[in-house]
Amino acid sequence: MRTIVLAATSIFAIAVGIAPAHATLQIAWDFGGTTGQCVDQTACDLNLAVGTLQLADQVINGIEVNGSIQTSTKSATLDILNTSSLSVINTTGSDIQVTVTVSDNNFIGPVTQFSSAGSGVWQNAVGSNITLNWYNDPGNAQGADTAGDTPGSLIDTFTSSAIFAADSFSHNGSGAVSDGALFSMTEQATGTLGPLRCLRHEHQQMDQRIRGLFRIPDLDEMKKQTRALLDLTRRHLAREEQVMFTAAREALTSGVLAACGEEWAKFRGVVIGIEPAPNA
């Protein structure tokens, strides 16, 4: 199974201004402990324009990143920091904690108001979550030296957890800031992507639905809820088959697998290697 955050985009815009100066747009990441960074106009940046930082499509510690572009705009009337990815895919059978931070400084003030927005689509990622954080620093410190480097104040935050197989989120924010001639902006996306969260979440859902069945007085409603529980259980078993058992086959030695098989066969009262009789 693959976990996808599609079109995770966030935009950070601040109105008004004075005069430009040198600054650095950069991105830093931490994918399950594998860290990295890319700075605008260095070898890792595919886009020749200053203020646009484009990463090559790549897999970092099992996380496949496609179409990652960051932009930084500084003018007398508008300062914008933007980051987006077409898709961020967990290709492994494990949950992975991901953090991506984008920052630039020497945005042009003074400014007194900010607007923020973020949106995305979850695909096959139930139980995964992402938190978007927006930071503003009147001290103009450069952020994103590391994924945890977020100078200034947290001025907006938003969290989304994937609930449905295809799920979307969006958020808008705005408020007051107090920035002088120069300031910095930093955006961060942090959360956990993974199939195990999805499986655990389904376990919780099944437990809730089973408990709920006993409280339904109406027979038709109970039938409807029982069918929904069966659908959820079938989907969950298929997902376990696809994710858990594939991961177990890859991770465990044949001796351990055989021992597990014997144990579970004993528990279920079946004999390994004997096919059930036709029409049994």
How large is the C-alpha radius of gyration of the chain? 24
Q: How far is the CB of 25 from Ca ion (least distance, A)?
A: 7
When the beta carbons of 45 and 79 are compared against Ca ion, the nearer one is: 45
Q: How far is the CB of 52 from Ca ion (least distance, A)?
A: 5
> Which residues ranging from 216 to 245 are in contact with Ca ion (CB under 5 A)?
none
Q: What is the DSSP letter of 181?
A: S
Nearest-CB residue to Ca ion?
47
φ, ψ of residue 123 to 5 degrees: the values are -135, 120
When the beta carbons of 48 and 274 are compared against Ca ion, the nearer one is: 48
Q: How far is the CB of 225 from Ca ion (least distance, A)?
A: 55
Helix (H) or strand (E) holding 179: strand 166-179
Tokens linked to 106: 């020497």
When the beta carbons of 25 and 162 are compared against Ca ion, the nearer one is: 25
Q: Label the pairing between strands 182-193 and 129-137.
A: antiparallel
For 105-136, what is the HEC assignment?
EEEECCEEEEEEEEEEEEECCCCCEEEEEEEE
End-to-end Cα, the chain, rounded Å: 33
Task: Give the three-state DSSP class for 216.
Answer: coil
When the beta carbons of 67 and 173 are compared against Ca ion, the nearer one is: 67
When the beta carbons of 92 and 103 are compared against Ca ion, the nearer one is: 103
Which residues have CB under 8 Å from 185's CB, separation 6+? Answer: 12, 14, 79, 81, 103, 104, 107, 134, 135, 136, 137
Nearest to 251 by CA among 25, 95, 93, 75: 93
Binding pattern for the stretch 30-59 against Ca ion, x by CB under 5 A and - elsewhere: ----------x----x-x----x-------
> Which residues ranging from 66 to 95 are in contact with Ca ion (CB under 5 A)?
none
Could you say whether residue 168 binds Ca ion (CB under 5 A)? Answer: no
Q: How far is the CB of 71 from Ca ion (least distance, A)?
A: 9
Question: Which residues share a beta bridge with 110?
Answer: none
When the beta carbons of 90 and 103 are compared against Ca ion, the nearer one is: 103
When the beta carbons of 40 and 179 are compared against Ca ion, the nearer one is: 40
Nearest to 40 by CA among 131, 141, 142, 136: 142
Q: How far is the CB of 29 from Ca ion (least distance, A)?
A: 17
Q: How far is the CB of 239 from Ca ion (least distance, A)?
A: 41
Please work out the total of residues on this chain that contact Ca ion, with binding judged by CB under 5 A: 4
Q: How far is the CB of 132 from Ca ion (least distance, A)?
A: 23
Distance CA 213, CA 222 (A): 6
When the beta carbons of 40 and 95 are compared against Ca ion, the nearer one is: 40
Task: Give the three-state DSSP class for 225.
Answer: helix
Peptide bond into 110 cis (omega under 30): yes
Binding pattern for the stretch 176-215 against Ca ion, x by CB under 5 A and - elsewhere: ----------------------------------------
Q: How far is the CB of 123 from Ca ion (least distance, A)?
A: 29
User: Given the rule CB under 5 A, which residues bind Ca ion?
Assistant: 40, 45, 47, 52
